[in-house]
Amino acid sequence: MNMLKERRNYENQLLPCDFHNYFTMGKVPAYMVVHDLIKLKIKDGTYPVSEFLPTEPELEKIYKVSRTTIRTAMEILKDEGLVEIRQGRGTIVLDSRAIQSLNKVTSVTECLRNRGFDVRTKSMYIDVIHATERLGKELNQPIGTPIARIQRIQLINGKPIAIIKDYLPYALVPNIEQFTNKFNGLYEFLEQQYHLEIESADDKIFAKSADFAESEMLAVLPGTALLCIQRICYKGAEPIFSDDVCILGDQYELSISSNGRNK
């Protein structure tokens, strides 16, 4: 079993009182165990956003490790965007979640980039399928119409965060398969390459637990919470494509502003 799988096995099980025995058995480096335990405490709010972590000497006592181990763990947390190390003041917890406003049509990729993340695409695959009853209804196309399907995994700072599937009438994007791995953000690509301007969208949002295949693609444990967005994008009244996105729930938020009451 490789290190990633080892980390998955213990990440949601270790308690601070037993982690020392675990890494002294030689299974995982001490700095990675400290990193993972602090990361869990950031996620569950033990170490709140905008608050300072305990000092290095305090962390040494808590985790019974050397200062070098603590500093290595802090550097990894910093590289992941979870903390900011402020010289002479300490280490502060950052809000690492991307927040997408639903008041304007923006993509997951655009939202992540706006938060300063390095967004890249992994394992893009484009093929042509035929419209099912569901796709035909969503895209206002007869059943059997050729549909371009784009499947990809989005990474932030080199780590998988989202599984994205997009469906477009092939007549709108002829020969799109030649652009496999040639773009990261679909919305911008469609606007520039095919002059498809997105004017509005309908979203269906729900939560689910990652199944085995999803957990493997996202490098998380099966059952991890995912935020799912099913979107249909329109130009005028005409649907031009649909999105199916599953994103790690602890890394992403949605926001919306509403006016008035519908009683």
Interatomic CA distance for residues 141 and 150, integer angstroms: 18
Q: In this structure, are 114 and 233 located in the same domain? A: yes
Can you read off the two tokens belonging to residue 25?
A: 């058995």
- Structure confidence at residue 215 (pLDDT): 93
pLDDT of residue 214 exceeding 60? yes
Number of domains in the chain: 2
Final residue belonging to a domain, choices 93, 111, 140: 93
Q: In this structure, are 67 and 140 located in the same domain? A: no
> Could you write out the DSSP letters of every residue in 122-183?
EEEEEEEEE--HHHHHHHT--TT-EEEEEEEEEEETTEEEEEEEEEEEGGGSTTGGGGTTS-
Reported as a pLDDT band with limits 50, 70 and 90, residue 99 is very low
Span 104-123, pLDDT tens digits: 556 666 666 666 667 788 88
Span 12-38, pLDDT tens digits: 444 444 444 544 445 678 888 999 899
CATH of residue 190's domain is: 3.40.1410.10
Question: What range does the domain containing 38 cover?
Answer: 3-93
Rounded to two decimals, what is the model's pTM? 0.60
- Structure confidence at residue 122 (pLDDT): 85
Reported as a pLDDT band with limits 50, 70 and 90, residue 41 is confident
